[in-house]
Amino acid sequence: MPTILSFDGPLTVATAEHVRDRLLAGLDEPAGVAVDASGAAQVDLTFLQCLMAAAATAAMRGVPFAMSGLPSGQLEQALARAGLRPDPARAGDFDQVFWRKGPSQ
């Protein structure tokens, strides 16, 4: 079962180094990572970039990577602002794979 990494509070450029370090450490686990950002108080493009980079790294390493559920709240708003709103109705798309429901759903 993947390691669930919970992120809360501000997920912005000010916390990007901490986010990156936690994601990279999680990707060292063979079981992979499921990210829970449901407690995010603020999300900017930097957090989304960290997630996309982590997803690419996980794919290169052959390690599972997912969100622990469909995005909501601040994360959903940031995705919409960036034009990255997931669409689970489009099977086979990258966002269908990346934003799939993870182990806690």
CA distance 82 to 92: 21
Q: What is the mean pLDDT of the chain?
A: 83
Entry pTM: 0.81
CA distance 27 to 97: 17
With CA atoms as reference, report the closest residue to 36 among 25, 47, 44.
Answer: 47
Which domain CATH number covers 70?
3.30.750.24
24 compared with 91, residue with greater pLDDT: 24
In a domain, 54, yes or no: yes
Which tens digits make up the pLDDT trace of 59-78?
A: 999 999 988 877 788 988 88
Q: Count of domains in the chain?
A: 1
- What confidence category does residue 81 fall into, taking pLDDT thresholds of 50, 70 and 90? confident
DSSP per-residue letters across 85-99:
---TTSTTSHHHHHT
Query: Is the pLDDT score of 50 beyond 70?
Result: yes
In a domain, 73, yes or no: yes
20 compared with 89, residue with greater pLDDT: 20
Q: Could you tell me the residue range of the domain that residue 14 belongs to?
A: 3-98
What are the tokens at 13? 């450029």
In a domain, 104, yes or no: no
